[in-house]
């Protein structure tokens, strides 16, 4: 069933909420690229683990819309 032209399960974000989500996704991608670059550059395991933990924290934050 649709209400107001939107499906019942639709999620509506304000422009500010969408911009925030896009910013956080960009930060997540940058963090992932940093981990990949560090791995390619032979960074020590402890540093890679620290970076990967930060990446996981960022991803967890994205699971919740603010």
User: Residue 63's pLDDT is what?
Assistant: 85
Q: Has residue 1 got a pLDDT over 60?
A: no
* 5 in any annotated domain: no
Query: pLDDT tens, 3-58?
Result: 578 888 888 899 999 999 999 999 999 999 999 999 999 999 999 999 999 999 99
Cβ atoms within 10 Å, residue 61: 12
**What pTM did the predictor assign?**
0.78
What single DSSP character describes residue 64? S
Query: Can you read off the two tokens belonging to residue 15?
Result: 């422009």
Structural domain including 37 reads: 23-66
- When divided into structural domains, the chain yields a total of 1
* Cβ neighbours for 24, distance < 8 A, ≥ 6 positions apart: 58, 61, 62
């Amino acid at each position: 069933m649709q209400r107001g032209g939107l499906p019942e399960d639709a999620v509506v974000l304000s422009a500010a909420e969408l911009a925030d989500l896009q910013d956080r996704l960009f930060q997540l991608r940058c963090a992932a690229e940093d981990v990949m670059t560090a791995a390619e550059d032979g960074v020590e395991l402890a540093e890679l683990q620290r970076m990967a933990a930060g990446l996981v924290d960022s991803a967890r934050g994205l699971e919740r819309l603010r």
